[in-house]
Structure 1
Amino acid sequence: MTYLYALAVAFITVMALVPVVRAAALRLGFVDRPTGRKIHSKPIPLSGGVAIFAGVILSSFLFLGSHPLLRTIVTGGAILVAIGLLDDSFKSRGRDFPVWPRLLLYIAVSFIPVWHGITIQGVSSPSPAAMILFPPVISAIVTAVWVFALINMVNFIDGIDGLASGVCVISSLTIFFASLIESQQVTAVVAIALAGSCLAFLAYNFHPARIFMGDAGATFLGYTLAVIAVDGTLKGATFLSLSVPLLALGVPILDTVIVFTRRILEGKGLHRADNLHTHHSLMKWGLTQVQTVSFLYLIAAVFSLLSIVVLLMLR
């Protein structure tokens, strides 16, 4: 029942907070204004990430207290939400926050899980007895790279109504079930709280969206998914079980690989905003926003189901 309560608390918190933060954003002019590459046609409030952050943290704290995993998520998440709000404030004024300062801050945040002892410790063959432990420095770097990548990948797919929030519902539920299989109850609580928060936000964010999560929400979701994936399945993974979080987070990972490949081939900067993402391509081929999002939900669900099958095969 604890998991059901955690889901409910997160869901209710976000459902209650979104109208409040939305109204505040409209009063302050904190909105994403339409531009040449934007799909929406009118200004949309950017404050949704604050509600998601509050839902995850409140629900997790009620059922976990001051657990090291939660402290890791609060510390890194609060910094990312602050950076995201600053970035979003630039967008609301038609300006861009400088790329390099933002990336350097993301790199610093990516080492916070390492500081709290949440690391990818090594890999093994199918036999756990053949564990290959990483030296501490390698473990720290591998973990930080994973976290940094997910922070950016989830942010990249937050390009049309309901995509990032819906995919994160599917991914967090997958990590929830994987954590239960691996007897990682603490990780499971955070994962189900994340799912509840994203599901509630999706009610406001599905097309036509009434609010966006902004960079504050997208980077927080990426960070939290990365951390709970490490804590739940990646601490000491077999070569085969490495596929579990990779599949669970398959849509943002695959989208990033495709986009970066296309940018390199076209000689564009890797972090330059464009319309090369998978969701943009699907819409250029004639799909509506709802059809595009539904198709990518299906892909995410298939990847997630495969990840659970792989995990069960390993037991």
Structure 2
Amino acid sequence: MDSLSALAQHLGIADLFGRGFLSVVVTFLTAGVFTWLFIPRLREFAVQVGWADQPNARRLNTEPLPNAGGLAIFAGFIVSVIVAWALRPIVVEIVNIQVLAILLGASLLVLVGFIDDQYGLSPLSRLLVQVLAAVLLIVNGLRIDFNAIPFLPILPDAINAPLSIFLTILWIVGLTNAVNLMDGVDGVVGGVGFVVSTVLLATAAQFPDRAAAVVLLAGLSGAALGYLRHNFNPSRIIMGDAGAYLFGYTLAAVSLLGTLKFSAGASLIVPLIVLALPVLDTTQVVIGRLARGIRNPLGHPDKTHIHHRVLARTASARRTAVILWTVALACGMLGMAFQGVTWPVIVATGVLIAVCLWFVAHRRVRAQKIETGRQASAPKDA
């Protein structure tokens, strides 16, 4: 028992049987199990009421596919956070307010995303709501400080304050849309969301004052894994804008909560490394569309995203997802190294992520084979 505790401490776990670590495990498992079990029932209801994503230029499905997965992810996330709060209340008042601000902003974007999935909203209305959700964080003390960005000059407060607000809005809105634009191949956003959430979770857990970030990330990570069980190709449900907005907004907001701060100067560099895949994808898409003369680059879907390019080379949605998971994990481990996390923790995190992804992918492939076998044998039994 002593050797096990010593190993845990070597991996950054102060008390293997303590309330803090157990609450994180319970939060993760609650989110994962709830989402895993809830999705089949939600899918049945979505099929009945017609909540489905029609084939379009961005997606690869050739027939309507239930698109309410984001509601299940959100439900699993919220339930797990409630459980975590019951197990280990966060007593710091300012942190409570900031966490509630993140949850409120995420709820607002999930609602708007779901309405857009089912009925369609104009790009301007979606943008306005995203800006409002970003402002909600700013007024509660969550923002990027321009003067904390390394290698840039220190500006007077009269200039720094509005510039910092602009950068914060750009970070929140940009990442929210970046994750949404990646959602074009089965399993990509769910897997990348799980990788990034778990990497940030492992990083935040190294610091005693990051309890709020750990709780949110544990819930988001578990919900992503539970959803991925049903979304790995061939997908039975997709998350839609509601789920993509939840991942993008929450990850962007939690990074401002202090998850990755090991010094004021590196507060923006590390999350950029961990979230490099969606950021680079959106950047190259926007530049490419502007170069082709498209005035509204976010309002003209095409197949120039990284996942589309990888899919064209692999001709396999499964291989495409695995490749992008690997890239996201590599970026995450690099970000952990910049954070100063020890190599045993980095390696252990990478192994844990790989095992979890293999497990849910294997379960989905196995379930799909069983479904195919039943369909093939059905006429013989008739």
Q: Normalised by the size of structure 1, how large is the TM-score?
A: 0.90
Paired residues in the alignment total 306
| Percent of aligned positions that are identical | 30
> Is 2:148–2:267's contact at 8 Å kept on the other side of the alignment?
no
C-alpha distance after superposition, 1:60-98 (max 9, x if no partner):
1222358223311221111111111111112xxxxx532
Measured in 1, the distance between the counterparts of 2:258 and 2:80 equals 18
Q: Among residues 76, 82, 87, which one is paired with 2:111 in the alignment? A: 82
C-alpha distance after superposition, 1:146-171 (max 9, x if no partner):
11111101101011101001001011
Q: Does 1:176 align with 2:197?
A: no
SS in 2 for 1:285: helix
Q: Among residues 141, 166, 175, which one is paired with 1:141 in the alignment? A: 166
Q: Among residues 55, 64, 68, which one is paired with 1:47 in the alignment? A: 68
Shift of 1:241: 5.0
Q: Does 1:62 align with 2:83?
A: yes
CA RMSD of aligned residues (A): 2.3
Q: Does 1:289 align with 2:314?
A: no
Aligned to 2:187: 162
Shift of 1:136: 3.7
SS in 1 for 2:257: helix
Aligned to 2:283: 257
Going from structure 1 to structure 2, the CA distance change for 1:308 and 1:133 (only over 3 Å counts) comes to farther
Measured in 2, the distance between the counterparts of 1:221 and 1:199 equals 12
> Is 1:241–1:311's contact at 8 Å kept on the other side of the alignment?
no
Measured in 2, the distance between the counterparts of 1:101 and 1:186 equals 31
Measured in 1, the distance between the counterparts of 2:100 and 2:114 equals 21
> Is 2:260–2:339's contact at 8 Å kept on the other side of the alignment?
no
Q: Among residues 91, 100, 122, which one is paired with 1:98 in the alignment? A: 122
Aligned to 1:266: 292
Going from structure 1 to structure 2, the CA distance change for 1:313 and 1:22 (only over 3 Å counts) comes to closer
Q: Among residues 7, 18, 24, which one is paired with 2:39 in the alignment? A: 18
Measured in 2, the distance between the counterparts of 1:10 and 1:52 equals 8
Shift of 1:12: 1.5
Aligned to 2:215: 189
C-alpha distance after superposition, 1:287-310 (max 9, x if no partner):
311111111111101100000001
Aligned to 2:351: none
Letter of the structure 2 residue corresponding to residue 51 of structure 1 = A
Shift of 1:250: 1.2
Letter of the structure 2 residue corresponding to residue 202 of structure 1 = L
* Residue pairs, 1:116-155, within 5 angstroms: 116-124=140-148, 135-155=160-180
Query: Mean alpha-carbon deviation: is it higher for 265-274 or for 232-241?
Result: 232-241
Larger CA Rg, structure 1 vs 2? 2
Stretches of structure 1 lacking an aligned partner (at least 5 in a row): 91-95
Measured in 2, the distance between the counterparts of 1:32 and 1:53 equals 18
Q: Among residues 134, 143, 148, which one is paired with 1:110 in the alignment? A: 134
Aligned to 1:93: none
Query: Mean alpha-carbon deviation: is it higher for 187-196 or for 266-275?
Result: 266-275
Stretches of structure 2 lacking an aligned partner (at least 5 in a row): 1-21, 91-95, 343-382
Shift of 1:133: 8.6
Query: Mean alpha-carbon deviation: is it higher for 190-199 or for 268-277?
Result: 268-277
Letter of the structure 2 residue corresponding to residue 194 of structure 1 = L
Q: Among residues 306, 309, 312, which one is paired with 2:337 in the alignment? A: 309
Shift of 1:56: 1.2
Letter of the structure 2 residue corresponding to residue 242 of structure 1 = L
SS in 2 for 1:102: helix
Measured in 1, the distance between the counterparts of 2:145 and 2:125 equals 29
